[in-house]
Every structure is written in C-alpha cells, then in structure tokens.
Amino acid sequence: EAGVVQSPRYKIIEKKQPVAFWCNPISGHNTLYWYLQNLGQGPELLIRYENEEAVDDSQLPKDRFSAERLKGVDSTLKIQPAELGDSAVYLCASSRGVTGPGGADTQYFGPGTRLTVL
C-alpha cells in the first residue's frame, strides 16, 4: 500500500512570492490533515478535512493561507504571499476516519515539504 505522497519535498522562494504544496493521501482515507512543523518543535494542526469538507481550520491563518480538497482525495495548501516566518516543514497526514467521537484514528504522515523563504 502506498503511503502519503507529498510534493515538492523542498521549496525555496523569495518572500512575498506564492507557493503551493500538494498531498495525495492513502487510498480510502477519508480524513486529511495539514500540519506545520517549525524547527525543533512538534507538528501543529493547520486544517483537517473530512472528505471534501474543512471541519477544523481554526489554526489556519486565513489572511495568507488557503487549502482545498477537491473530490475528497488529494489536497493543495497555498501560501500567498509567503513571509520569512513561514519557513518550516509542512506535513500532510491521512486517516481512515472512524465513526463516532474521539481521535483514536491512526494518522499516517507523508515525508513533508521543507519550505525556505528568503
């Protein structure tokens, strides 16, 4: 079974430029997550999708960040314009999506996209 695929793996851009990251989750996984991982820190959730619907985007800086998950499969995260402080690793994860409450789902992570903003 293929894992979570992310591209590109590395991206270097100048500040104020736009950038986009792509994620393809594991086949059959209904839930998709985007996390931000700063250097020396644990990942922090940006947005969670259940199929096509963004159900938890409270931590997404909506003035410059946007995301979409058309057709409930792959997803794109965009930053426009990028700032120096956006330099980090952007992780995508997916899970099957269990019924009922709770977070017992195992999340499977992609290798991440390392963004450097100059």
Residues contributing to the site for other proteins (CB under 8 A): 3-4, 31, 33, 40-45, 48, 56, 91, 93, 95, 100-112
48: which 2 tokens? 């969670």
Of 28 and 103, nearer to other proteins (C-beta) is 103
Angle at 67 between CA 61 and CA 72, to 5 degrees: 145
DSSP-derived 3-state class of residue 71: helix
CB 101 to other proteins: min, Å: 4
CB 16 to other proteins: min, Å: 28
Of 43 and 79, nearer to other proteins (C-beta) is 43
Residue 25: cis peptide before it, omega within 30 degrees of 0: no
